[in-house]
Amino acid sequence: MKKLLAVTLGILTAIGGFVDIGDLVANSEAGARFGMRLAWVVLVGVVGICVYAEMCGRVAAFSGRAVFDLVRERLGPRIALLNLAGSYLVTLLTLCAEIGGVALAVELASGIGYLWWVPLVALAVWWVLWRVRFETMERIFGLLGLALVVFVVTFLQLGPDWAATRAELTAGPPPGESWATYGFFAVALFAAAMTPYEVFFFSSGGVEEKWTRQDLVTERLNVFAGFPLGGLLSLAIMGSAALVYLPQGATVDSLGQTALPVALALGKVGLIVVILGFFAATFGAALETGLSAGYTVAQYFGWQWGKLVAPRQAARFHTVMIVSILIGVAGLLTKADPVQITEYSLVFSALALPLTYLPILIVANDRDYLGEHVNGRFANALGLIYLVLIIIAAVAAVPLMVITGVGQ
């Protein structure tokens, strides 16, 4: 049982990263418009995040320090400041969207407009970050997020044509869709799988849990069980939407439409479960992004940080989180659509990916921190391959956004 619970950090990180509010709708929209033609992007993203998250976890286990903490020390304050600026702004944008996502989930359950819930959701996020222990937080929201397994059941219940699904995996865009929109969604889904805050949260979470070299098995269980699970849920969301919407030529642009395939396949019980999953996933992602905002700023400036530290001893760390939450609430109260906010955040996330993952690759090869446990040839080969993909995604993101009108 302890080994099972030890994987909850990976589950929380993966569900919060793969199936947050933007990914819930983006995967559903991709399925509705492209069927399973973009499933390969999710698979590529799962492997990529596993490669780099394993590096981050290993760094935390053997050095006792978070990756971002070492980036400034290893690469100097100027490069690290550029990394901080890009990562924090993307994380702040995502935090805004996640708070809105929780409010949208509550709106589905209550019928009351989501804007009324935004201040209460923000207060709840702050209270959990202030009062709830890290391990308790990750176990509650990581395990509740497993309610989204209902999408796997839905996909199977809807009866997919497996031969047609396999054929779609190697196909380009369907009739009516351009290669530009196909490319835009590919970049967005790839960026969603490798969002910067995931690795910062995972690495800092390892330090919060006091991982040592004896916890290397736990670290790898988190990586190779948690992240593939998040990828599986993403594929199930995409597949469910493909089966319901693609034959009708319909599109998806709201959380309610994402839930509709579950309601059609499993009725009211399925709808209740999926709304619980939406709430847990988006709330967990709000916690991740809130913590990641505090982690990155505090680690760059060398401040005391972490939930294991009394708030009075880490006042600046908690202040950054509170201010970030308030900025997120202010953005939502302008009536900006949380789904659209996340779509833009995925584009900017793609731009920030090289600044995030190149320093990780460098630190994971530093013998001063890891000794003989630096990357081997295979890990470095995969790391370099994904670094090339990351650069391609970063270069293509803005042109594709402009050409397609954000995927329209």
Phi, psi of 173 (to 5 degrees): -65, 145
Listed residue (189, 203, 210) closest to 360, CA to CA = 203
Asked if 80 and 363 touch (Cβ cutoff 8 Å), the reply is no
Angstrom distance (rounded) from CA 305 to CA 316: 8
pLDDT of 4 reads 47
Compute the distance between CA of residue 356 and CA of residue 87 in angstroms, rounded to an integer.
7
Q: What is the pLDDT of residue 170?
A: 72
pLDDT digit string, tens, across residues 316-361 = 999 999 999 999 999 999 888 887 787 788 788 888 888 888 888 8
Which residues are within 8 A (CB) of 72 and not within 5 positions of it... i.e. 6 or more apart? 80, 299, 300
- How far, in Å, CA of 259 to CA of 241, rounded? 9
Q: Of 260, 24, 36, 30, nearest to 161 (Cα)?
A: 36
Q: Is 127 exposed, middle or buried (0-12, 13-18, 19+ CB in 10 A)?
A: exposed
- pLDDT, tens digit, 9 for 90 and up, residues 259-295: 999 999 999 999 999 999 999 889 988 998 999 899 8
CB 328 within 8 A of CB 122: yes
Residue 135 CA to residue 52 CA, distance in Å, equals: 23
C-alpha–C-alpha distance, residues 320 and 307, integer Å: 13
Task: Return the CATH number at 400.
Answer: 1.20.1740.10
**Full residue range of the structural domain in which residue 65 is found:** 2-404
Count of domains forming the chain: 1
